[in-house]
Amino acid sequence: MQLATELKPVSLIGFGDGAEGAAFTGMNPATGSALEPKFFSATADDLERAATLAQSAFPIYSNLSGKNKGAFLRRIAEAIEAAAPAIIQRANLETALPEARLQGEVGRTCNQLRLFAELVEEGSWLDARIDSADPNRKPLPKPSIRSMHKPLGPIAVFGASNFPLAFSVAGGDTASALAAGNPVIVKAHPAHPGTSLLVGHAIREAVKSSGLPEGVFSMLFDNGVDVGVQLVKHPAIKAVAFTGSFAGGTALMKLAAARPEPIPCYSEMGSVNPVFVLPGALNKRASAMAAGLQGSFTLGAGQFCTKPGLVLVPQQDGTPAFMKELSDKVSATPSQTLLTKAIADRYTLAVKGRDVTVLAEGAKAEGSPASATVQASLFVAAYKDLAENQDLAQEIFGPTTVVVGYQDRKQLLAVAEQLEGHLTATLQADESELAEYSDLIDILTRKVGRLILNAYPTGVEVCHAMVHGGPFPATSDGRSTSVGTQAIYRFTRLVCYQSFPDAALPDELKSTNPLGIMRLVDGDRTRKPSA
Amino acid sequence: MQLATELKPVSLIGFGDGAEGAAFTGMNPATGSALEPKFFSATADDLERAATLAQSAFPIYSNLSGKNKGAFLRRIAEAIEAAAPAIIQRANLETALPEARLQGEVGRTCNQLRLFAELVEEGSWLDARIDSADPNRKPLPKPSIRSMHKPLGPIAVFGASNFPLAFSVAGGDTASALAAGNPVIVKAHPAHPGTSLLVGHAIREAVKSSGLPEGVFSMLFDNGVDVGVQLVKHPAIKAVAFTGSFAGGTALMKLAAARPEPIPCYSEMGSVNPVFVLPGALNKRASAMAAGLQGSFTLGAGQFCTKPGLVLVPQQDGTPAFMKELSDKVSATPSQTLLTKAIADRYTLAVKGRDVTVLAEGAKAEGSPASATVQASLFVAAYKDLAENQDLAQEIFGPTTVVVGYQDRKQLLAVAEQLEGHLTATLQADESELAEYSDLIDILTRKVGRLILNAYPTGVEVCHAMVHGGPFPATSDGRSTSVGTQAIYRFTRLVCYQSFPDAALPDELKSTNPLGIMRLVDGDRTRKPSA
The whole-number pLDDT of residue A139 equals 86
Among partner residues A153, A257, A465, which is closest to B129 by beta-carbon distance?
A465
Q: Is the peptide bond before B139 cis (omega within 30 degrees of 0)?
A: yes
Rounded to a whole number, what is the distance in Å from the CA of A263 to chain B's nearest CA? Answer: 8
Mean pLDDT value of segment B243-265: 97
Cβ of A529 under 8 Å from any chain B Cβ? no
User: Are B503 and A464 an interchain contact pair (Cβ–Cβ within 8 Å)?
Assistant: no
Q: Are B151 and B264 in contact (CB under 8 A)?
A: no
Specify the DSSP element, H or E, that contains B361: strand B357-361
Residues in chain A within 8 Å Cβ distance of B253: 257, 262
Q: Report the candidate in B331, B319, B393, B336 with the shortest Cα–Cα distance to residue B359.
A: B331
Say if the Cβ atoms of A461 and B143 lie within 8 Å: yes
User: What's the N-to-C CA distance of chain A in angstroms?
Assistant: 62
Q: How far apart are CA A358 and CA A352, in angstroms?
A: 9
Distance CA A413, CA B387 (A): 62
* pLDDT at position A367: 80
CA of A5 vs chain B CAs: smallest distance (Å): 36
Interface residue A85 vs chain B (CB under 8 A): no
> Which residues of A are designated catalytic?
268, 305
- Any chain A CB within 8 A of the CB of B435? yes
**C-beta of residue A350 within 8 angstroms of C-beta of residue A392:** no
Which residue of B442, B463, B471 is in closest CB contact with A59?
B442
Cβ-based contacts of B467 with chain A (< 8 Å): 147, 494-496
How many angstroms separate the Cα of A456 from the Cα of each of A12, A291, A292, A307, B143?
Answer: 39, 11, 7, 9, 11
Once rounded to an integer, what is the mean pLDDT over residues B303-327?
A: 97
The DSSP secondary-structure symbol of A364 reads P
What residues in A contact B478, CB-CB < 8 Å? 152, 493
Those of residues 97-126 in A touching chain B at CB distance below 8 A are: 104, 124
DSSP state of B136: T
Residue of B nearest to A425 (CA): B497
- Whether this model's pTM surpasses 0.95: yes
pLDDT classification of B4: cutoffs 50, 70, 90: very low
SS3 label, residue B270: coil
Tell me the chain B residues in contact with residue A64 when contact means C-beta distances shorter than 8 Å: none
When pLDDT is averaged across residues B357-368 and rounded to a whole number, the result is 92
Mean pLDDT of B258-270: 96
A494 — contact with chain B (CB < 8 Å)? Answer: yes
Q: Which residue of B has its CA nearest to A474?
A: B261
Mutate: best of A464, A508, A530, partner B, most B CBs <10 A: A464
Parallel/antiparallel/unpaired status of strands B23-28 and A524-526: unpaired
Closest chain A C-alpha to B323 CA, distance in angstroms: 26
Interchain proximity A471–B493, CB inside 8 Å = yes
Query: Is B150 near chain A, with CB under 8 Å?
Result: yes
* B253 contacts A129? CB cut-off 8 A: no
Task: Give the closest-approach CA distance of A461 to chain B in angstroms.
Answer: 8
Chain B residue nearest residue A492, CA to CA: B479
- Inter-chain contact A497–B453, Cβ cutoff 8 Å? yes
Average pLDDT over chain B, rounded to an integer: 96
CB distance B467–A495 less than 8 Å? Answer: yes
Q: Is B452 within 8 Å of chain A by CB? A: yes
**Complete DSSP assignment for B450-501:** EEEESS-S-----SSS-----TTTTBS-TT--SSSGGGGGGGEEEEEEES--
Would the pLDDT of B13 be above 50? yes
State the count of interchain CB pairs (< 8 A) between A and B: 210
- Binary contact (A496, B142; C-beta < 8 A): no
Q: Which residues pair with A405 in a beta bridge?
A: A313, A382
**How far is the alpha carbon of A500 from chain B, nearest alpha carbon, in Å?**
6
How distant is the Cα of A395 from the closest Cα of chain B, in angstroms?
A: 17
B442 reaches A (C-beta below 8 A) = yes
The segments of chain A whose pLDDT lies below 50 read 1-2, 4
Of A449, A452, A492, the CB nearest to B494: A449
Closest CA to B440 of B459, B418, B416, B460: B416
Asked whether the predicted pLDDT for residue B104 surpasses 70, the reply is: yes
Contact B434 A146 (CB under 8 A): no
Measured between alpha carbons, how far is A29 from A39 in angstroms, rounded to an integer?
17
Q: Which residues touch A208 (CB under 8 Å, ≥6 apart)?
A: A15, A214
Instruction: Tell me, yes or no, if B268 is annotated catalytic.
Output: yes
Say whether A261 and B477 touch across the interface (CB within 8 A). no
- Is the pLDDT assigned to residue B1 strictly greater than 70? no
Pairwise CB contact (< 8 Å): A465 & B495: no
Element (H, E) at B206: helix B193-209
Whether pLDDT at B2 is above 70: no
Nearest to A281 by CA among A321, A320, A313: A313
Task: Tell me whether residues B453 and A498 touch, CB distance under 8 A.
Answer: yes
% of chain B surpassing 70 pLDDT? 99
Instruction: Verify whether the Cβ–Cβ distance A261 to B472 is below 8 Å.
Output: yes
CB contact under 8 A, B262 and A472: yes
pLDDT reading at B73 higher than 80 = yes
Query: Taking 60 as the threshold, does the pLDDT of residue B350 lie above it?
Result: yes
Cβ pair A500:B150 closer than 8 A: no
Chain A residues inside the 8 Å CB shell of B465: 129-131, 145-147, 496, 520
Q: Which of B305, B325, B395, B508 is catalytic?
A: B305
B148-156 average pLDDT score: 98
Contact flag B257-A261 (C-beta cutoff 8 Å): no
B130 in contact with chain A, both atoms CB, cutoff 8 A = yes
Distance from CA of B49 to the nearest CA of A (A): 20
Q: How far is B27 from chain A (nearest CA, A)?
A: 31
- A59–B446 C-beta distance less than 8 A: yes
Would you call A499 and B453 a contact, using CB atoms and an 8 Å cutoff?
yes
What residues in A contact B58, CB-CB < 8 Å?
A: 446
For B105, residues 6+ apart whose C-beta sits below 8 A from its C-beta are B97, B163, B164, B165, B166
DSSP A513: -
Alpha carbon A265 to its chain centroid, in Å, reads 13
A278 to chain B, minimum CA–CA distance in Å? Answer: 15
- pLDDT for residue B3 is more than 80: no
Q: Which chain B residues touch A253 with a CB distance below 8 Å? A: 257, 262
Give the chain A residue whose CA is nearest to the CA of B492: A479
